[in-house]
Structure 1
């Protein structure tokens, strides 16, 4: 996390405030050391310190305190003041951050599987422009990215939030100053009121965020209150100087604050709703330590805080934060297996060495106005240039990934391609003679519907419907409705429809499956999903369609239904919808869901294939070890009517009872439960026959 030059951005010194000879507050340096220790231990040994992620919140409060103090002492009054402030932030933070970004990209290319290259590139570029938290927030709500693996640059999300704070905060203080001065008010009072309002609104949005909203963890707005709390501490420090408190009281407050931080790190875990109201404990505890400003005396934590190792770690905390994550993420790939405890300890020593080297060769020389320092007028040019360099390196990595995308197109017309290897008796190998879809390509080989804005996501408030296949659709009109497990069939259906003159209209949504019951998302999506289903089911019912094609995976629970009863209730719910369409004169084809490629901790097909390129059978498994959801297909079979048919892809995914990662040279799944676009296209002939039979009501 960013550390700031305390000699410039600390509050006006009160008597006996803990300031060592270097001009930095020893207590704040110690807080930095504690914060980075919590984060690093949590990432290296997550089961040893389950709540170590609160170290990020400690950093947020420190940054908010120091930056607000600096802005109060040097309030910006014009654009030039803002430019000067932003230039100093660039010189302080960007050189080391850009260095680690480039190093992480290169290291990813050298040691990580190609399946990580695309995500790493996207996130590195987002990090270079300090928008990483937004990229991760988007990915957190992207159902299609649910099985994503962490990249070596994922930790830049917190730096992005801080940079956004540095961009907005001085503007807020400048505008509040202009406003109150015109009315004869006090700058301090005006700025404090604005910060109180912003902080309270941000805290409310964080506290009220649904527990299932994974994106809230990364949103700027649900995190700004933590920096705002540090900002409010800066005002309190000015209005109530630490010197006015007795030594004993300040000592007790400091220890209480430290205890609050350690308690939250020790007791919080992955089940804690965060950063909601639970974040208030480490945030307020950090502010308490800062305001206590401990001084020497009996029982004071200052002697411990002032230890040279503690102060040293606080000084290199920014670089330690930058380096620790790529090391721990890439280490298993470099070793070929998870690192042992001693190896992790050695890796941690490497992190400290890299951090120390970065501080003395990059951070310190470029921070000030010494001859080696960067003039302010060049800071913005440096920031843009650095971001472009990262983008260029990332583009090179992405180019290598995209080179592979030409291979499936070239091979598509060959015999024994994909699923056809199971049908053509002249094909000797189920896996195929060679791999046609490289893992890096297969990891992103999915339906184009989401990119075209045809899949409803987020809060389920949109009403999206798109058209595929033939433009006119003179031969037949087809509706495709369901969640991503209907969407994944679109590459084949689009191809079949275009050849046969069919017009396909889509009604697609993420995760929400097609039933006339409430699905439990524990937030506003519960009602919005039900509303979307009423709309989409109704549109299909009244539409002039010759055939309705539907497919779903039913992951979320139903409201008021136990897990034990879910299967039976779900089958009846699906049957009700199918009968509604039949009563409206529609024929229906149910796309039976496919067996999963594994469970949450298992590698995806692309990851497994890359790790076992010389032994593809190592990625296969008996169907008995796979989850095979069939509720919607069972509903269709129970109706037992020629107007409702089922297309079962299981024989092509798990031929002879063995689920394959590769069939006919094509990687079958792109994640743990969606078929790859190329494999689906290889099934186009079989899907086309099934669609025609469903239209005709024949077997």
Structure 2
């Protein structure tokens, strides 16, 4: 048997739990301050590996038959399921009661994935970057780590039992050897997978298994010498703390960097700090609030993220310091209540413990209820969305409409920029265009083949819309234009990746784009140029042109676009460039969120002077193209007249919000631009200086 046996709840481990949950919560509230706080999850993985392995080895010593699995899984259900079910059900109910119908189906799918322990693979399939995502995260996205743990809990007991049975003469050595092999194979795969595709690797259970295995190996180590017990835990705490302070969202993870917090957590656990030695980690962890936070860490983890995600959508504004502190307090209160009223009663319930099948029956019934509610929500949301889209299309294609963009050109429409119906304002980030709704807009990862196909599927002309997230925001408009003009529309949109064959190295407000993102952006655009362009009859480039800084000469920002134009025209296709939508704030970085502003201020106040909305930087690329002789080779589609009068550009037009955030068109307004876009693309003329020197002219 291992020398380490758990005979009581160790204070040093409870203190480590408190540290881990503190890092995770603070990171999610202040990601720019504690840039690597996500390593708290890795600490939890090591703790789980140690505790579960220690427990299983003790069970295997007493009984080497499949029967021990029955009791083990029943205890896991009682320990983990009740609190998770309460939080999951609360999120689903809140979404259905408070949030718009567009949020129902996405949340319901996350409920299903979380209920059946596959949230990590659900996120991986969407190529979601947990650390940096351009779209609104799910309130259940944090269940990815719980799914990884549950998958570990399912496989680990079977693996260890098999090892003990096969190595029956020396079962402990067989188990330790098996764990060591798992650790070596998993860490090798984790490093490799992170290098190949970090966004998917982040959620990959097999790339994380070594962290559990490291914890498992600790169960076989002897108690260290007293001098080491005084030093090792503090070294481990410092390793975890330094990781939290120094790692960022650009750190490849869980690659080789994950070794630091993982071994740090292992040193705290393996160091077995003396609880009675003053100034030791174990003594500090005996402090009441620290121990309590360790006790409620599971419930705190469950509650904090839904509060962070849902509160801004419910109240209609971003989180400020006061709200973040409120979330911190709310998390602790809800965690304490859940621990006292849910976790402990179910974990200790004799009624569920004997016979054991009651635990399984209760868990299955709860999962069935949640799954049924989630599937029902998907059905209702789909029907509501279809009806809303049909009504919206009817409104925007109506000849005498004064709704949304139609109010700008409608002769009978009065004060197109002066009124907004606040009752119909969607929650921020809820009214996203089709590229987001259809989950076909890419983050900057190695996944290079995500496209939307919109418009008329039987259209005789194929139009390729190519660009960054602003191309994605035009997707709803192109869908309507395609239906009107019988175009088959392909959308190739990727966040922070403009339609240039030279990848940007930074944003114009100083955010450096990592080298791997630059490489993936360049690879993606080459793939579009070589594979997708030949399938199109017309190519339309739409980017936030002023947003990027390209390598080399700062005054020569159009080189990559010229290469695209050359490539497209070599393929015999026409190229059109779309002016980007107005900036909403003083600068690109200082955005004004349209839905938030319109909910609090009179609609005319949510506007920007034309000179600020279209500074000279927004047309620098166009000036370079004209200077280099490309002006007559491309068509240019000005869009400012659909957003601005002679003096200002507006966030509320024709009764609706122009944007769903601080710069991207809302689905409603983008859709309403469809009829105009169908005409504008056909009328587009070649690019000349006069097109962009006076945006409101």
Q: TM class, shorter-chain normalised?
A: 0.7 to 0.9
Which stretch shifts more, 158-167 or 580-589? Answer: 580-589
Q: Tell me what 1:286 maps to.
A: 265
Q: Tell me what 2:510 maps to.
A: none
Where does 1:498-509 land on structure 2 (aligned, <5 Å)? 498-500=483-485, 502-504=486-488, 506=490, 508-509=492-493
Where does 1:219-230 land on structure 2 (aligned, <5 Å)? 219-230=204-215
Say if 1:289 and 1:37 are closer, same or farther in 2 by CA, change over 3 A.
same
- Check whether the contact 1:319–1:359 (CA below 8 A) recurs between aligned residues: yes
- Check whether the contact 1:123–1:154 (CA below 8 A) recurs between aligned residues: yes
Say if 1:24 and 1:147 are closer, same or farther in 2 by CA, change over 3 A.
same
Distance between the aligned counterparts of 2:225 and 2:169, measured in 1? Answer: 39
Q: Tell me what 1:422 maps to.
A: 408
Structure 1 unaligned blocks of 5 or more: 1-9
Distance between the aligned counterparts of 1:25 and 1:576, measured in 2? Answer: 63
Q: Tell me what 1:357 maps to.
A: 337
Say if 1:428 and 1:149 are closer, same or farther in 2 by CA, change over 3 A.
same
Shift of 1:94: 0.8
Secondary structure at the counterpart of residue 621 of structure 1: strand
- Check whether the contact 2:406–2:673 (CA below 8 A) recurs between aligned residues: yes
Q: Per-residue CA shift, 1:146-180, capped at 9, x if unaligned?
A: 44345544433322222222223234334545665
Which stretch shifts more, 276-285 or 47-56? Answer: 47-56
Where does 1:191-270 land on structure 2 (aligned, <5 Å)? 191-205=178-192, 208=195, 213=198, 216-235=201-220, 237=221, 241-242=222-223, 245-265=224-244
Q: Tell me what 1:4 maps to.
A: none
Q: Tell me what 1:5 maps to.
A: none
- Alignment pair present for 1:102 and 2:69: no
Distance between the aligned counterparts of 2:447 and 2:311, measured in 1? Answer: 39
Q: Tell me what 1:311 maps to.
A: 291
Q: Tell me what 1:35 maps to.
A: 20
Shift of 1:121: 4.5
Which of residues 642, 645, 653 in structure 2 aligns to 1:655? 645
Shift of 1:63: 0.6
Where does 1:634-653 land on structure 2 (aligned, <5 Å)? 634=623, 637-638=626-627, 639=629, 644-653=634-643
Distance between the aligned counterparts of 1:114 and 1:465, measured in 2? Answer: 22
- Check whether the contact 1:50–1:269 (CA below 8 A) recurs between aligned residues: yes
Secondary structure at the counterpart of residue 157 of structure 2: helix
Distance between the aligned counterparts of 1:433 and 1:305, measured in 2? Answer: 55
Secondary structure at the counterpart of residue 219 of structure 2: helix
Distance between the aligned counterparts of 2:444 and 2:320, measured in 1? Answer: 40
Say if 1:656 and 1:388 are closer, same or farther in 2 by CA, change over 3 A.
farther
Secondary structure at the counterpart of residue 462 of structure 1: coil
Pairwise CA RMSD: 4.5
- Alignment pair present for 1:156 and 2:143: yes
Shift of 1:11: 6.5
Secondary structure at the counterpart of residue 656 of structure 1: coil
Q: Per-residue CA shift, 1:636-659, capped at 9, x if unaligned?
A: 655466553211111112333423
Shift of 1:65: 0.6
Say if 1:665 and 1:575 are closer, same or farther in 2 by CA, change over 3 A.
same
- Check whether the contact 2:581–2:639 (CA below 8 A) recurs between aligned residues: yes
Structure 2 unaligned blocks of 5 or more: 506-512, 692-697
Which of residues 54, 63, 68 in structure 1 aligns to 2:53? 68
- Check whether the contact 1:108–1:152 (CA below 8 A) recurs between aligned residues: no
Say if 1:407 and 1:597 are closer, same or farther in 2 by CA, change over 3 A.
farther
Q: Tell me what 2:681 maps to.
A: 691
- Count of residue pairs the alignment pairs up: 665
Shift of 1:577: 3.2
Shift of 1:525: 5.9
Which of residues 303, 314, 336 in structure 2 aligns to 1:323? 303
Q: Per-residue CA shift, 1:369-405, capped at 9, x if unaligned?
A: 6136475323344334333444555567774774755
Task: Give the structure-2-normalised TM-score.
Answer: 0.79
Say if 1:68 and 1:195 are closer, same or farther in 2 by CA, change over 3 A.
farther
Secondary structure at the counterpart of residue 549 of structure 1: strand
Q: Tell me what 1:6 maps to.
A: none
Q: Tell me what 2:594 maps to.
A: 605
Q: Tell me what 2:346 maps to.
A: 366
Which of residues 536, 541, 550 in structure 2 aligns to 1:550? 541
Say if 1:494 and 1:369 are closer, same or farther in 2 by CA, change over 3 A.
closer
Where does 1:10-49 land on structure 2 (aligned, <5 Å)? 23-43=8-28
Distance between the aligned counterparts of 1:601 and 1:160, measured in 2? Answer: 37
Secondary structure at the counterpart of residue 188 of structure 2: helix
- Check whether the contact 2:11–2:275 (CA below 8 A) recurs between aligned residues: no
Secondary structure at the counterpart of residue 556 of structure 2: helix
Q: Per-residue CA shift, 1:68-109, capped at 9, x if unaligned?
A: 222333349666544443332111101011112223444566
Distance between the aligned counterparts of 2:469 and 2:121, measured in 1? Answer: 23
Q: Per-residue CA shift, 1:232-258, capped at 9, x if unaligned?
A: 2223x2xxx21xx43233222233333
- Check whether the contact 1:209–1:276 (CA below 8 A) recurs between aligned residues: no
Secondary structure at the counterpart of residue 363 of structure 2: helix
Distance between the aligned counterparts of 1:528 and 1:341, measured in 2? Answer: 36
- Check whether the contact 2:464–2:533 (CA below 8 A) recurs between aligned residues: no
Say if 1:605 and 1:275 are closer, same or farther in 2 by CA, change over 3 A.
farther
Task: Give the structure-1-normalised TM-score.
Answer: 0.79
Distance between the aligned counterparts of 1:50 and 1:378, measured in 2? Answer: 44
Shift of 1:64: 0.9
Q: Tell me what 2:695 maps to.
A: none
- Check whether the contact 1:367–1:374 (CA below 8 A) recurs between aligned residues: no
Q: Tell me what 2:656 maps to.
A: 666
Say if 1:56 and 1:177 are closer, same or farther in 2 by CA, change over 3 A.
same
Which of residues 82, 87, 112 in structure 1 aligns to 2:74? 87
Distance between the aligned counterparts of 2:450 and 2:310, measured in 1? Answer: 41
- Alignment pair present for 1:408 and 2:392: yes
Say if 1:389 and 1:306 are closer, same or farther in 2 by CA, change over 3 A.
same
Distance between the aligned counterparts of 2:111 and 2:435, measured in 1? Answer: 24
